[in-house]
Amino acid sequence: ATLATLDRVLAGDHRSDANRARDDYRHPRQTLEFFGLKQDMTVMEVWPGGGGWYTEVLAPTLRERGKYIAASWDPKSTSKYVQDNSKKYADKLASRADVYDRAKVVALQAPNELKPVPDGSVDMVLTFRNIHSWMGNDAAQAMFDAMYAALKPGGILGVVEHRAKNDKPQDPKAESGYVRKDYAIGLATKSGFK
């Protein structure tokens, strides 16, 4: 049933042609199936960005039976980038109340906003291409700790990141935007994930 809902959502008119064209590269159906998404879960997506590419897929898939939570930037941030993209994201959600009216937006940004939801309250946490940004701000471990705290026991963490080659040391700031798989796994396991 979840995959049938997901197929309808992926073909929905709320998605732009440009975003739909990226499905060939991002493989949202396969990715979410691999993570074990079920349409009755409570799912927190960490840092959906101003465009909310995966929000277009997750929020309507979870709208009727589950719950979608967007854990975004700290609204008190003075960063122009954060302010501009937070507005862009809010405008996106407001543009299609029929699709996004049940989406909840909370703050999750180190060092000040690390408790976006009550501990142990979500079934799945997803984050797409964000680890390198957290590493650049020395916030990666704090973000993994917050994600671990948010999940119910036995909950699922789904991570997509640009993968660095294993034959070179990991830049601790990930300035290239790429992260070694073993480094990402190390961050997760240090927070308690298995």
Instruction: Give the model confidence (pLDDT) of 57-94 as tens digits.
Output: 999 999 999 999 999 999 889 999 999 999 999 999 99
Give the per-residue pLDDT at 104: 98
pLDDT at 137 over 90: no
pLDDT tens digits, 5-57: 999 999 999 998 999 999 999 999 999 999 999 999 999 999 999 899 999 99
What is the model's pLDDT at position 103? 97
In tens, the pLDDT along 88-125 reads 999 999 999 999 999 999 999 999 999 999 999 999 99
pLDDT bin (cut points 50, 70, 90) of residue 127 is: very high
| Residue 10: how many other CB atoms lie within 10 Å | 18
CA distance 22 to 99: 20
- Those residues whose C-beta lies under 8 Å from the C-beta of residue 70, and which sit 6 or more positions away, are 44, 45, 48, 52, 55, 59, 89, 103, 104, 105, 106
